[in-house]
Structure formats: C-alpha cells, structure tokens
Amino acid sequence: VLQHVASGLNKLHGLSIVHLDIKPDNILLSQGEPGYFKIADLGLAAAAIGAGCDDITEGDCRYLAKEVLQGDFADLSKADVFSLGLVLFELGTNPRSLPSNGPEWHSLRRSLEVALLPELSPKLLQLMQDLVHARKEQRPTCQAILQQLSADAMCEPDPAHVQALQDEARRCREEALRNQQRADEYWQEILCLKKQELMCEKPALKS
C-alpha cells in the first residue's frame, strides 16, 4: 500500500496537484492489475502551488494534517504525505479506528504509538513517524519515500517476526497432530466398548 500510494501521489505532485483526502476509502485494489492499489476520488484535489483559502476544501479530519486546519497551505503535498502516514498506522492497528477529534487526535499529530506495531521493521516504523512529523518541512516527499523503500527494502517483513510466525505454525501443526492421535485413540476405545456391548447382548437374544 505504501509503495503504490506513494507512487500515485508522486505522479500527482509532479503535476502540481494535491489530493487532500487520502484515506482507506479512497485507496482501491485495482481489478485490472491484481495486487496493485490505486488512489481514487479526486473530488477535493487542488493546485499544489498558489492555492488560497477559497481553493481548499478540507478532507476527512481523521487523516488531515494540523497545518491545513490552521490555514497553512504553503506546501500541501506534505499534507498528503501526512494523511498517508496515518492511513498506514490505521491499517497496521486494524480494527482500531482513528479519532476525529479530542486528545487522541492531537496526540497522533505529535507522535505515533509505534508500540502497537511490533511486527514492522524499525526502519519502516521510523519512516511512518517521519510521514506524520508535526513539522511539515521534516516530512519526506513521495519521491524520497519511494527512494527509501527501494534502497532499504523496508517493505520486507521483520525476520524475527517471520521466524515467530513459522514457530507458531509449527506448534499448531504439532498440536493438531497430537489432537488427531488422541481422537483416533478415543475412536478405538469407543469401538472396543461397542464390541463389548454387542457381546453382552448376544446371550440375551438367544434366550
């Protein structure tokens, strides 16, 4: 998702267009290209340069950068980057939905609770933190995001997490095998009891 959406935003920003409403509902799985995510709904898109108050319509407040609410439209492409960071955070902590206001809303605009995402690599967690940096000038451009993903292969899963999953899968298989063995033993015991029951019934039938 990160790579595909960053790629789409990079193309928009290259045309001096900002989306301003990046959220899960506007990220669709392509039917023509299986496994590829695309950006939808450009209804709030605006010019990235020279946009004034009359040109800007605020998107979903759950994913909106704070500076947009404060009327700072100097670099709206960084607002898209911020929204992408919160989308990734929400997807990673699913089904934990983001707040639309209140203390937690403000907290997310200071720092992400990366402890909620232990399965991600430290580099990817740091990149997510950079995407939602409180100071927009500290956020990377979409082109920089793509370069980092390519150079560091941060989308690859954490080896320790992969090993933990493999160990858990092995444990589940072994437990399933033990359960199957116990089930077979129970069936054998049931069959023996049935045979004994039939043997006890035979004399009664003869009399």
Give 153-188 pLDDT, tens digit per residue. Answer: 555 555 666 677 677 778 877 888 888 888 888 888
pTM equals: 0.67
At residue 133, does pLDDT exceed 90? yes
E-strand ranges in the chain read 17-18, 27-29, 37-39, 46-47
At 5, is the pLDDT very low, low, confident or very high (cuts 50, 70, 90)? Answer: very high
If 0-12 CB within 10 Å is exposed, 13-18 middle and 19+ buried, where does residue 130 land?
middle
Give 112-127 pLDDT, tens digit per residue. Answer: 887 778 777 888 888 9
Cα(197)–Cα(207) distance, rounded to whole angstroms? 17
Per-residue pLDDT, 116: 76
Mean pLDDT estimate for the chain: 82
CATH of 2-156, one of 3.90.105.10, 1.10.510.10, 3.30.1390.10, 1.10.287.130: 1.10.510.10
Give 9-26 pLDDT, tens digit per residue. Answer: 999 999 988 999 999 999
What lies within 8 Å, CB to CB, of 108 at 6+ separation is 86, 89, 98, 99, 132
Catalytic residues: 21
